[in-house]
Amino acid sequence: MGVSVSRGRTWGRLLAAGALATALSVSLVACGDDGGGTAKPGANGGKPEKASITVTYGSDSASTAPLWIAADEGFFAKHGLTVKVVHGTSSVGAIATVSGAADIFLGEATTSFQAVSRNQPLEIVGALRKLSDFKLYVRPDITNVEQLKGKKVAISAAGDSSDMATRQAFTELKSSTDGMTLLPTGNSSNRVAALTTGRVSATLLTEPSATKAKKAGMREMLDQTDKPFLGSGITIANKFGKSNPNTVVAFIESLVDSIHWLQDKANKDAAMKVISKWQAKPIDDPDVVRGYNTYSTPGELQMDPTPDAAAGQAMVTGLKAMDAKAYANLELDKVYNLTFVKAIEDSGYLTKVWGDKLKS
């Protein structure tokens, strides 16, 4: 089995195919319900029903390293998968799974929650993180949150995780974004550039951009990294999970192996080479070094890929705060399907990989 890589060049075709997807009213499988007639994980001796799959991802952050490692270090092949890895944008990656242009999306979960609220037949079946990555940074002259009234605050895109988390950050600061301009500027690198050049007065940043901002003299106003927030969710179309349960399990188990491998300090040099390759940066680049140091640290990435309930509820609450009418009917059990992670847990695979560490 092998891996092929595309870094965005085929995304136009995925978008074209994704545009054909229609909003379907369905009842998503959740919390172990097999949906009636659905093949269960473990059937056919556990062999993947679909061995050659396309996986899209939306972030160049080293939080995506488990996907890259699974591709480069042979964990997909170990589990019987041939994987085409496509880099796209989080805003369309989840929707591509509906049309079948992609089989699995690994990326920000906000898009998936929004899609489900619009009756798209998607479900989140696993996750790599359950805590926020965000820190709120402001210009050096900003010492009080009220000074940001009338100012511009950079977000990645309207309605995405950075938008939602920004609103949550100001709520936590006993304020709101009322009277501020939320300016879409793109990814974390673009946002730190907008902040340091004075184009905006504040923005949420993830590592390594947060460290860049600090070194440039920007002030950290709020650290959200201890707050529940679902990041790096594993999203599939409902019909894909029903038809290919062993494939889904094999994919998730590959990521479990990758996280275990990443946390082994004996693999530091090899892991940094993988991150360097996929980020297209020198191995000694500060972004590569900080990315490795951050996500190789136990606790940053989940040993157990079960989507966290508190993190998921934070997403639901945040979206309803953004638009109560649009997300009035959104509930967590419409988004999560725990069938596959439960099968992995019941099989003893997590204990086999992590041993006693899983209990810590």
Q: What is the pLDDT of residues 53-91, one digit of tens each?
A: 999 998 888 999 999 999 999 999 999 999 999 997 666
pLDDT at res. 3: 46
**Which of 121, 104, 115, 125 has the alpha carbon at shortest distance from 58?**
104
Asked if 303 and 354 touch (Cβ cutoff 8 Å), the reply is yes
What does the alpha-carbon distance between residue 125 and residue 296 come to, in Å, rounded to a whole number? 23
Phi/psi for 129 (5° steps) reads -140, 150
More confident residue, 121 or 8: 121
pTM of the entire structure? 0.85
Cα-trace Rg, the chain: 20
pLDDT at res. 40: 73
Asked if 245 and 339 touch (Cβ cutoff 8 Å), the reply is yes
* Segment 134-172, tens digit of pLDDT: 999 999 999 999 999 999 999 998 888 899 999 999 999
- Percent of the chain at pLDDT above 90? 74
Q: Is the dihedral of CA 341, 346, 349, 355 positive or negative?
A: positive
* Segment 105-125, tens digit of pLDDT: 999 899 899 999 999 999 999
Enumerate the H helices of 264-323 as residue ranges: 268-279, 286-295, 309-322
CATH topology (fold) of 3-131+229-359: D-Maltodextrin-Binding Protein; domain 2 (3.40.190)
pLDDT at res. 153: 98
- Asked if the model's pLDDT at residue 13 lies above 60, the reply is no
Determine which of 37-41, 190-194, 271-275 has the lowest per-residue pLDDT on average: 37-41
What does the alpha-carbon distance between residue 130 and residue 211 come to, in Å, rounded to a whole number? 21
CATH architecture of 135-224: 3-Layer(aba) Sandwich (3.40)
Sheet architecture: strand order including 3-6:
3-6, 82-87, 52-57, 104-107, 228-237, 122-131
What is the band of 44 on the pLDDT scale with cuts at 50, 70, 90? Answer: low
More confident residue, 13 or 97: 97
Map out the domains of the chain as residue ranges: 3-131+229-359, 135-224
pLDDT at res. 20: 32
What is the band of 188 on the pLDDT scale with cuts at 50, 70, 90? Answer: confident
The answer to whether domain 3-131+229-359 and domain 135-224 are alike in fold is: yes
pLDDT at res. 71: 98
pLDDT at res. 157: 87
What is the band of 29 on the pLDDT scale with cuts at 50, 70, 90? Answer: very low
What does the alpha-carbon distance between residue 233 and residue 111 come to, in Å, rounded to a whole number? 10
* Segment 297-330, tens digit of pLDDT: 999 999 999 999 999 999 999 999 989 999 999 9
Give me the chain's average pLDDT, please. 88
- Asked if the model's pLDDT at residue 7 lies above 70, the reply is no
Asked if 296 and 268 touch (Cβ cutoff 8 Å), the reply is yes
- Asked if the model's pLDDT at residue 283 lies above 50, the reply is yes
> ∠ CA 75-62-316 to the nearest 5 degrees?
100
- Asked if the model's pLDDT at residue 127 lies above 70, the reply is yes
pLDDT at res. 95: 84
pLDDT at res. 358: 87
**Which of 106, 63, 124 has the alpha carbon at shortest distance from 313?**
124
